[in-house]
Structure 1
Amino acid sequence: MGINRKQLSNALRYIGVGVKRIPRVIKELKRKGFHFFGLVIPIIYLLGLHYTTFFTTQVGVWILGTISLLYFIWEQMRLNIPAMQEFCVKMYGGMMREKEKDRMNGVFFYLLGSTICVYFFHPLIAVSSMLFLIIGDFTAALVGISYGRTKIGNKSLEGSIAMFSVCWILSYITFFNQNLAEHISFWGAISATLIELFNPSWIDDNLTIPILSAIIMKYMTARFGVDLPIYNNYV
């Protein structure tokens, strides 16, 4: 049995969310909750590398690249064919930001960013950077809208602290068996948080958060001299 809006509102009030904030929180839950489907990519990627011999980084890049290209074509059809645009608005328009209705939406940039991360970075770094976006960004938005008091631009200090905490835990779990895991995790988490906080409006953070945080983690592993494990021909 699903949770209806009244039950969700009651639950949010129970955990201290202000009454005036509840409609925004529910809207954000619906929109950002959809992004959790993006977890399929890092999960399949890691499981494939760990438990199969045929699934390599190259295979992952080809699959993600193909999906990204197909989604790009879909988006171009949505933006340029009125009937297609009307269909998409009816199907998932409520989960799109207003600005995404007449330009490429965040899903494409997530797919593109994931493809770039898988191609250029070690699997552990790529997976961590994707988790920063999927779960960390969600946490920042939810906590910021629900409890944010201290504003930093159009974001909040509370949301940023929550994002850093979640990102640090996620990346520490990912790098748990590696030397200096806590340091790599810290720099990855802080970079993702700062990127989310100060990301310019003209570029989608679904692209900048994973790519830039991956660059920082790659630099820190090199700086600390950490040798990451080999996965199916990926050193």
Structure 2
Amino acid sequence: MQETLTPRSRSPLGLIPSHKSYRYFIHKYEVPRKLLHVSIGFLTLGLYWNGIKLSQVTPVMVFLLVNVVALDILRFKFPIFSTYYIKAFGFLMRESEVNKWNGIVWYLLGLTLVFLVFPKDISLLSILLLSWCDTAASSFGRAYGHLTPKFFRNKSLAGTGAAFLTGVGAAYLEYGLIVPASPGVNVGEHLAWSPETSKLSLTALCTLSGVVGAAAEAVDLWGLDDNLTIPVMSAIVMQIAVALFEK
């Protein structure tokens, strides 16, 4: 009986050579993919700390998005190109993405939309929630999910709880530590939340961030890739909440 193609099938399907060679490290636990995911959050914090503005980052994101889309189109049209592409970058892909758009396309699209629409601090938080909450939920869900109850979309309490705590920590890291320690980097840029302009306390903001991070990771919106839905959904909800409680 042929095995069904799923994003996280237990055994390699033979579509990506590196998945067969490193069945657990790459295929089952997706270590390289998770490391890349997590590193984006730290990279973004580094850019923020060094005063890089959204207006500087957004064109780069658009450039990367256009090029990654072009590479995927070439991959779909030319099998020989696809073969070499998968050999080179397959360790960062899931086998379900071999004949579909690469996850990085949705990742870049989500970040680009957020950068174009939302303030700097909301954009940064949405990246942290995507980068860290999704990874935390996946890692803890796989490791401990069998020990806790399951609910919507077969999500585990372990994974969702990890996403919540990570979301709380991400917001505190940004608003409680990074932003106060680097006031000069926001000169000329609007921040959606500050203690002086919002009725939301830092504790409430961090708690809300945890709820949003956990919910965005768990909810399936019309079957869209969560690399797109998590940052966009997070940014929308956080922006609305901050606006509602503005002084």
TM-score range, shorter chain: 0.7 to 0.9
The 1:90/1:105 distance shift into structure 2, 3 A limit, reads same
How big is the shift at 1:146?
Answer: 0.5
Q: Offset of 1:41 from its aligned partner?
A: 5.2
Between stretches 62-71 and 89-98, larger displacement belongs to 89-98
Q: Equivalents in 2 of 1:130, 1:65: separation in Å? A: 16
Q: Is the 8 A contact 1:195 1:208 kept in 2?
A: yes
For 1:169, give the aligned amino acid.
G
How much does 1:79 deviate? 1.9
Residue in structure 2 matched with residue 76 of structure 1 by the alignment: 73
Gaps of 5+ in 2: 1-22, 181-193, 196-200
Query: Structure 1: 5+ residue runs without aligned partners?
Result: 1-21, 50-54, 227-235
**Counterparts of 1:139 and 1:221, CA distance in 2:** 25
Query: Aligned residue for 2:174?
Result: 174
Q: Distance between the aligned counterparts of 1:29 and 1:37, measured in 2?
A: 12
Q: Deviations over 1:200-223 (max 9, x none)?
A: 472000011011111111111111
Residue matched to 1:185: 206
**Equivalent-residue separation in structure 2 for 1:223 and 1:172 (angstroms):** 20
Name which of 18, 28, 37 aligns with 1:35: 37
The AA in structure 1 aligned to 2:219 is F
Instruction: Report the CA distance between 1:30 and its aligned residue.
Output: 3.3
Contact kept, 8 Å, 2:133 with 2:217, in 1: the verdict is no
Describe how 1:8-27 pairs up with structure 2 within 5 A: 23=24, 27=29
TM-score norm. by structure 2 comes to 0.73
In the aligned structure 2, how far is the partner of 1:193 from the partner of 1:218?
Answer: 17
Alignment of 1:219-234 (within 5 A): 219-225=240-246
* Residues in 2 aligned to 1:219 and 1:46: alpha-carbon distance in whole angstroms: 23
Q: Which deviates the most, 198-207 or 29-38? A: 29-38
Match of 1:196 in 2: 217
Identity of aligned residues (%): 26
Kept after mapping to 2: 8 A contact 1:31/1:96: yes
CA contact (8 A) 1:29 1:142 kept: no
Q: What's the secondary structure of 1:151's corresponding residue?
A: coil
Give the equivalent residue in structure 1 for 2:183. Answer: none
Q: Does 1:147 align with 2:168?
A: no
Q: Which TM-score applies when normalising by structure 1?
A: 0.77
Q: CA RMSD in A?
A: 2.2
Show the counterpart of 1:56.
53
Q: Supply the AA of the counterpart residue of 2:224.
A: I
In 2 relative to 1, CA 60–95 (structure 1 residues): closer, same or farther, beyond 3 Å? Answer: closer
Alignment-derived partner of residue 6 in structure 1 = none
Find the aligned partners of 2:45 and 2:80 in 1 and give their Cα distance: 35
| Cα distance per residue 1:76-132 (max 9 Å; x no partner) | 112221111101221222332222111111111111111111121111111111111
**1:204-215 alignment runs, 5 A limit:** 204-215=225-236
**Residue 85 (structure 1) aligns with:** 82
CA distance in 2, matches of 1:66, 1:215: 24
2:15 is aligned to none
- Distance in 2, Cα, partners of 1:45 & 1:116: 18
2:133 maps to 136
Moved over 3 A (4+): 22-26
The structural deviation recorded for 1:184 is 2.2
User: Would you say how many aligned residue pairs link Structure 1 and Structure 2?
Assistant: 200
For residue 131 of structure 2, what is the amino acid of its counterpart?
A: I
CA distance in 2, matches of 1:64, 1:72: 12
Shift of 1:48: 4.3
